[in-house]
Amino acid sequence: MLQSQHQASSVPPPRTSGSSSGITIPDELPIFTSIPWCAAIINTPGTTIFTCGRPLPTILHEDTLWSSSLRACDAVRGYLSLRRPIPNTESLEAITLVALGHGGNGHHGILHGGTVATLFDDAFTEAAVVPCLTAWLKVTYKAPVNSPGVVCCTARVVKSERRKRFLFGEMRDGNGNLLAEAESLFVKRDSKL
């Protein structure tokens, strides 16, 4: 849970590169360690870094939504995925910190609802642990998501049935305000796919 006494900080400017795609994935950890409320999450005992940055396009065209769209249009300026144990369980919680730019807006200074859903889908992928596909995703919007800004998505598996993973997540800002909640069903990928 984010602490309400932490103040939201400004988002760093977009990063540029000389790569042929126009995108590089630098070490993005400093983006978040420089923001007190994010640093508190990163430094929570038991928390480990899972992913820092999003991948560049591959020959198989995987993750092109991130590499060619969200990164290229300044929707996402920084991305950090963490995992930590959920107390009194054997489960893990996925925590995704995202530095938002203007490229994912639906209204001036407000993130598009579809971008919010995309961030939840990605956070659920991190929480599911095994390769899964989204069967359904329901988002309940609680407050506008300001951008640019930094948000924290938490996600966890609440129930598993054979190939199914039922997930729940929240999106909060640096002041701990609940911006959105989501539920989803992910299905473990069949090896034939």
Domain ranges of the chain: 29-188
Token readout for 107 is 């209204």
pLDDT of residue 151: 97
3-state secondary structure of 15: coil
Q: Confidence band (pLDDT; 50, 70, 90) for 25? A: very low
Contacts of residues 186-192 at CB distance under 8 Å and 24 or more positions apart, as own/partner, are 186/124, 186/125, 186/128, 186/132, 186/133, 186/134, 186/135, 187/132, 187/133, 187/135, 187/163, 188/130, 188/131, 188/132, 188/162, 188/163, 188/164, 189/130, 189/131, 189/132, 189/133, 190/163
pTM to 2 decimal places: 0.81
**76 against 177, higher pLDDT:** 177
pLDDT tens-digit series, residues 84-131: 988 877 788 999 999 999 988 999 999 999 999 999 999 998 888 788
Superfamily of domain 29-188: Hotdog Thioesterase (3.10.129.10)
Burial of 124 (0-12, 13-18, 19+ CB in 10 A): buried
pLDDT of residue 93: 92
Q: Confidence band (pLDDT; 50, 70, 90) for 72? A: low
